[in-house]
Amino acid sequence: MKKIGIIICDRYRTCAGGKCLRSLRNREGAFAMYKDQEVELVGYTTCGGCPGGNIEYAPEEMKKNGAEVIHLATGLIVGYPPCPYLSDFLNFIPAKYDIEVVAGTHPIPEKYLTTHLQLKTWESEPWPTLIQHVLTDEETRIAYN
């Protein structure tokens, strides 16, 4: 069984996690990588707000609970502006806690993709690589609007 944690953007701190949990259950978006595995969610929290103060502590707690992978929620990618600290989080967490980190949870909703394509948000590095796990087919993106 793969044990995971999810860290969401603090601006969405009141989010009930519906899209993340749905995509985990359905193995969609970044959770498609677990399509043939059982998964247990062992932690769910926010980054703590800019510049991500909770990133210093939450991964340690998740690891104590057995987390093998931490997913940084899709909201950090699709919010506007996208999280300016995302690359820092992706570098810091594995360096400090020796745990795998994945950018994304649920598929990018179509309405966010449309906006970010118009704004050319994700054309420069490292964005094409960062969105690879959550860029799905149009039907799935529309279902997550």
Q: Do residues 76 and 82 touch, judged by C-beta distance below 8 A?
A: yes
- The Cβ-side half-sphere exposure at 112, using a 13 Å CA radius, reads 23
**Distance between CA atoms of residues 21 and 27, nearest Å:** 10
- Mean pLDDT of the region 18-34: 97
What integer pLDDT is reported at residue 76 of this predicted model?
Answer: 96
Structure tokens at 105: 């949870």
What's phi and psi for 17, nearest 5 deg?
A: 85, 15
**Burial of 105 per CB tally in 10 Å (0-12, 13-18, 19+):** buried
Q: Do residues 9 and 55 touch, judged by C-beta distance below 8 A?
A: no
- Mean pLDDT of the region 7-17: 94
Strands (E) across 9-128 are located at 39-46, 69-72, 100-103
What integer pLDDT is reported at residue 1 of this predicted model?
Answer: 94
Q: Do residues 42 and 76 touch, judged by C-beta distance below 8 A?
A: no
Q: What is the CATH number of domain 2-143?
A: 3.40.50
- Mean pLDDT of the region 11-34: 95
Report pLDDT digits (tens) over 43-99: 999 999 999 999 999 999 999 999 999 999 999 999 999 999 999 999 999 999 999
Question: What single-letter DSSP state applies at residue 122?
Answer: T
**Distance between CA atoms of residues 61 and 58, nearest Å:** 5
